[in-house]
Amino acid sequence: MNRRNFIRLAGGGTIAAASASTLVACGVVGSHYPAEAVEAWNGPVGETDVRRRAVAYAITAPNPHNLQPWLVDLRESDVITLRTDPERVLPHTDPLGRQILIGHGAFLELLVMALAQQGVASEVSMWPQGELPTALQEWDDRAVARITLKPGGQPDPSFAQVLRRHTPKSDFDTTRAVTPEVLTQLVSGAGAHAPLSTGGTVNADQLPALRTLCWESAKVELLTPRTMMESIHLTRVGPGEILQHRDGISLNSPFVRAVSALGMFDRSAPPAEGSAAYKSAMGRFEGHSRTAMGFVWITGPNTRSDQVRTGRLYVRQQLQATALGVGLHPMSQAVQEFAEMAPHFERVHQLVLGRPAPRSASDPTVQMFCRIGYPQGEVPATPRRPLARFVMA
């Protein structure tokens, strides 16, 4: 077999490279997401209502697995009530809903910024009906926050970065180091959110252990059937699925689409060891871990309010990263709270905080753990669902 004419699939199959390039030439295959799926990144085009305009910016917030777990109630005038969408949680990789609430914090921060940009101040009341319970199964529709609109509101210079912010889910350029000065601007430039702390490292002595932690913890998520299946169920392959869902993990590379089109990407079971899908998932995480040029973290206590606060701080860090032109990418596997991850959960606390994993909500907890570096190309915008899907009218 002429190896140059075939793309070898790890599961043992091959596809003709000629047919893949024909697909590309016909415009059938390209890695850009369909324009409609990423229209949120144009901002609130044609929207005149102040609250809906603010929500249009807030839905671009970073959030785990791009589930977009937010619902806003606009039925009371001059008030925005933020709730969690009960369908949009991650019981296997985020069994305590901690990451989902970080996503709510990011949404809340952008919402408040977008209101301020329009000359509106926000009075934020957290958990007006009390905090959500610890167990995800007991979550109900109580509000995460009630935002009352008031006259005032000072535009924030970071707002200019909101529609430019994208999470770089790709290998970083290993020929470009992140300097200690950039690290300092990243860690301290996002402002303070007591009682949370921020930290990070670009120290060559510390990086190998942290990269190894990323890779070892990623393997646990990928090789634990129920956590892997959680991601597979949220994987959207190709323009059709991406447009249909506009959420989850969007894969649009010609290779993955060709594998899927040939029926070689079975989504009913975890990918078999050695298969194309297995190698593709493993390769992605291995590359992300290996090319981490530094790390940044957010730590602090772990009440429900601290989780939301973490999200507010995290999105500010990402806006700061966008302004600095550096990539900031969460590597959340080691901080996930499912049983199989426990050794890595312990290790991330030892490496970052020099202390054991938390035993209670008041113990110091690693809330966000991210790699940093310079992306090798333009970072694409990730899909968002239409604005109307988030609004309870």
CB of 347 to ligand FMN, least distance (A): 16
| Cα dihedral 246, 247, 251, 253 sign | positive
Question: Which residues, listed in sequence order, are joined to residue 16 by a DSSP beta bridge?
Answer: 6
Taking CB under 6 A as the binding criterion, the range among 51-59, 77-85, 166-174, 345-353 that sits at the site for ligand FMN is 166-174
With CB under 6 A as the contact rule, the residue among 99, 122, 275, 365 that binds ligand FMN is 99
Pick the closer one to ligand FMN by CB: 106 or 256.
106
**Main-chain phi, psi angles of 115, to 5 degrees:** -70, -45
Instruction: List the interface residues with ligand FMN, window 66-85 (CB under 6 A).
Output: 66
Residue 46 has which token pair? 């044609």
Pick the closer one to ligand FMN by CB: 64 or 364.
64
d(CA 265, CA 259): 6
Pick the closer one to ligand FMN by CB: 13 or 44.
44
Q: Are 79 and 219 in contact (CB under 8 A)?
A: no
CA 122: distance to chain centroid?
25
With CB under 6 A as the contact rule, the residue among 62, 97, 364, 375 that binds ligand FMN is 62
CB of 105 to ligand FMN, least distance (A): 8
CB of 334 to ligand FMN, least distance (A): 9
With CB under 6 A as the contact rule, the residue among 64, 200, 301, 364 that binds ligand FMN is 64
Residue 85 has which token pair? 């969408």
Count Cβ atoms within 10 A of the Cβ of residue 245 and give its class: 0-12 exposed, 13-18 middle, 19 or more buried.
middle
DSSP string, 270-333: PPPTTSHHHHHHHHHHHHHHHT--EEEEEEE--SHHHHHHHHHHHHHHHHHHHHHT-EEEE--G
Pick the closer one to ligand FMN by CB: 201 or 332.
332
Instruction: List the interface residues with ligand FMN, window 205-264 (CB under 6 A).
Output: none
Pick the closer one to ligand FMN by CB: 63 or 275.
63
Question: Which residues, listed in sequence order, are joined to residue 298 by a DSSP beta bridge?
Answer: 198, 368
With CB under 6 A as the contact rule, the residue among 11, 69, 97, 103 that binds ligand FMN is 103
Taking CB under 6 A as the binding criterion, the range among 28-36, 44-52, 99-107, 355-363 that sits at the site for ligand FMN is 99-107
With CB under 6 A as the contact rule, the residue among 84, 117, 122, 167 that binds ligand FMN is 167
d(CA 330, CA 204): 20
Pick the closer one to ligand FMN by CB: 15 or 40.
40
236 to 232, 249, 260, 382, 392: CA distances (angstroms):
9, 6, 10, 12, 26
Instruction: List the interface residues with ligand FMN, window 281-320 (CB under 6 A).
Output: none
Q: Are 392 and 79 in contact (CB under 8 A)?
A: no
With CB under 6 A as the contact rule, the residue among 102, 220, 277, 334 that binds ligand FMN is 102
Taking CB under 6 A as the binding criterion, the range among 25-33, 124-132, 327-335, 339-347 that sits at the site for ligand FMN is 327-335
Residue 211 has which token pair? 């990269």
d(CA 226, CA 342): 16
Instruction: List the interface residues with ligand FMN, window 174-203 (CB under 6 A).
Output: none
| Binding of ligand FMN by 63 (CB under 6 A) | yes
Interface residues toward ligand FMN, by CB under 6 A: 62-64, 66, 99, 102-103, 106, 166-167, 169, 330-332, 382
